Amino acid sequence: MVRPRPLPRPGPRFRRAVGLDTPEAPAGGPEDEATRARVLAQSQAWMEAAVIGLNLCPFAKAVAARGQIRWQLSPARQPEALLAELVEALQTLAAADPAQHDTTLIVHPWVLGRFDDFNAFLGVAETAIEAAGLRGVLQLAAFHPRWRFAEHAPGDPAHASNRAPWPTLHLLREASVARAVAAVPEAATIFERNIATLRRLGTAGWDALRERWQAD
């Protein structure tokens, strides 16, 4: 899965939705195997039903089918621990064979549940990419249950384009993104098409879709 355009720098564009900024963490902790399995299953169901099913990312289906996605469930409870895990994941992805491991999704349900905290962490994550010497090699996309674009009204279904069951950092290879974009006609309009798709689906339609990954 790749994002259609560069993720804007953290700032005014990203605002938390008042009253919706603190989704519940999983009932069990990271040491509970059943909880870990459920969180990953929900995230993978979201990928299948929303990202691939709605064609929000035209490149995701092939990468998933080839088994090139690495799902990483973070046990972190503090941002510092998540940052350390992120740095290690960046190095691992950069060193891996793209044919085997092309992209990484770090799902971190026990930390950064508040969207404003998550938004602030994105700047730290971008700095980590720079510090690792991986600017131009890897890039970052992000998803959060309470994602909100500043230019859209709170109830706009458009926010769902970056909403996932749990806070998630997505690491991508710049070269893979460039190849994928070049292969897709009118790739520059993907974001706008996604907004139109989600608005046609509507809030009720999105809520119905969410049942596919929210059911326990």
Domain boundaries, the chain: 33-214
Residue 80's CB is within 10 A of a number of other CB atoms, namely 11
Write the burial class of residue 151 (CB in 10 Å: 0-12 exposed, 13-18 middle, 19+ buried).
exposed
Nearest residue to 99 via CA among 11, 175, 44 = 175
pLDDT recorded at residue 197:
97
Instruction: Extract the residue ranges of the chain whose pLDDT is less than 50.
Output: 1-20
The partner residues of 173 in beta bridges, in order of sequence, read 138
Alpha helices in the chain (DSSP H): 33-46, 60-65, 79-95, 115-131, 174-183, 190-214
pLDDT recorded at residue 28:
87
Residue 52's CB is within 10 A of a number of other CB atoms, namely 19
